[in-house]
Amino acid sequence: MVKYPEKGEMQLLTDRPPQLETPLNIFRQDFTPNEYFFVRWHLSQIVTKIDVDTFRLYIGGAVDKPLALSMNDLKTKFAADSIVALAICSGNSRGTFNPKVPGTQWGNGAMGNARWKGVKLKDILAMAGVKPGALNVTFQGLDRAPLAGTPAFVKSLDIGHAIDGEVMVAYEMNGQPLPMLNGYPLKLVVPGWYATYWVGSLSNINVLTDTFHGFWMTKAYQVTKDPALNESPDSLAKTTVPISNINLHSIFVEPDATQPVNAGKQCLIEGLAFNDGTGIQKVELSFDDGKTWNETRLNPELGKYSWRRWKYDWVPGAAGMYHLCVRATDNNGHTQGNKQWNRSGYGRGFIEHLDVNVK
């Protein structure tokens, strides 16, 4: 565990660039405090010093009027918008894939739920005036690679998605400016999509009249077309697409499996379920390896792009090892599968297991 600037004690995965994981017990709250919110950068030269008075967000490309917006412009010339949304790394839970895959070996803590405040991207693009024929919009932050040849971290969205009224340029999370490690002063928020699109220290937005083919859209963050993001190590998918929507998943947060629980006493089991905004219909627990399922209590919905907390009061009978499974079902009736693997360890979404020692 380490203590990084503006952060509490977190799990350090790498330090150049920094990648920090949220401890699991933090997930017993609706919103993930900024000081415990996971950190993930791609290029090692991240912004370590910034003056918000001189900082500008540049909007260019196929627009009528290129813009250079100050933080003050963003806060005074546009209506403020707010949305609750889960930010989750594509590689969250990668460390639990079997067989193991290379990449940052995250546990379940490369995610967090926050209330984001900022300006609708649609409003910013309207002020710039998108030219007819626009197809893609690209996003880049102030982070750089040490080598000139390393592809710049640029992500893109289709123009229709960019102006859907939900994608946001955020200047606050949970009522505070973003920590520098989370992308201060601006972060792109793409509700329902994996956080690889949520570009931090966002400085450049570019409208294109053709399709963007940058490295981080066409070579990195590629997944199989299978909706469950499942492929076999023996026969990898021949064609891949950029990762996008958050896969349906549910995880255990309590009890802490390293500690025994008491037989005959009530034990609170709790956890999280989430997806891309389709919503969670139910979360169920099994104590008999999936033969029978017991519905949990869902906490009130905080917003369609928020995670959903669930709870279950369990009174274990006799002492012994208990094997628990959790599965979520979305509002379309789609439920989680029994197994999943893909070469990059992206979009974990299969049924999770927890062994609990009852004494």
Partner 1 sequence: MSNNVFMKQSRKYIPLTIMIIFVLLFCGCKQNKVEDKQPENTFAVHGSVREMVIHPETPDFPEHEGKALFMSYCSVCHSLKYISGQPGFPRKTWDAEVAKMVTKYKAQIDSATCQKIVDYLAAVKGKA
Q: Which spans of this chain sit near partner 1 (rule: CB under 8 A)?
A: 2-6, 12-18, 44, 48-54, 100, 102, 104-105, 145-151, 180-181, 184, 215, 219-220
Q: Which is nearer to partner 1, 36 or 312 (CB)?
A: 36
Angstrom distance (rounded) from CA 98 to CA 95? 8
Q: How far is the CB of 73 from partner 1 (least distance, A)?
A: 15
Q: How far is the CB of 201 from partner 1 (least distance, A)?
A: 11
Cβ neighbors of 42 (< 8 A, separation 6 or more) are 17, 143, 153, 216
In DSSP notation, 258-322 reads: TS-B-TTS-EEEEEEEE-SSS-EEEEEEESSTTSS-EEPEEPPP--TBS-EEEEEEE---SSEEE
Query: Token pair of 137, please?
Result: 């919009």
Q: Which is nearer to partner 1, 3 or 225 (CB)?
A: 3
Cβ neighbors of 1 (< 8 A, separation 6 or more) are 9, 10, 11, 12
**Phi/psi at 292 (nearest 5 deg)?**
-130, 150
Q: How far is the CB of 134 from partner 1 (least distance, A)?
A: 29
Cβ atoms within 10 Å of 333's Cβ, excluding its own: 8
Q: Which is nearer to partner 1, 79 or 147 (CB)?
A: 147
Q: Which is nearer to partner 1, 50 or 80 (CB)?
A: 50
Q: Which is nearer to partner 1, 72 or 266 (CB)?
A: 72
Q: How far is the CB of 264 from partner 1 (least distance, A)?
A: 39
Q: How far is the CB of 167 from partner 1 (least distance, A)?
A: 25
Q: Which is nearer to partner 1, 13 or 199 (CB)?
A: 13
What does the longest C-alpha to C-alpha distance in the chain come to?
72
185 neighbors 177 (Cβ within 8 angstroms): yes
Q: How far is the CB of 255 from partner 1 (least distance, A)?
A: 27
**Phi/psi at 76 (nearest 5 deg)?**
-115, -25
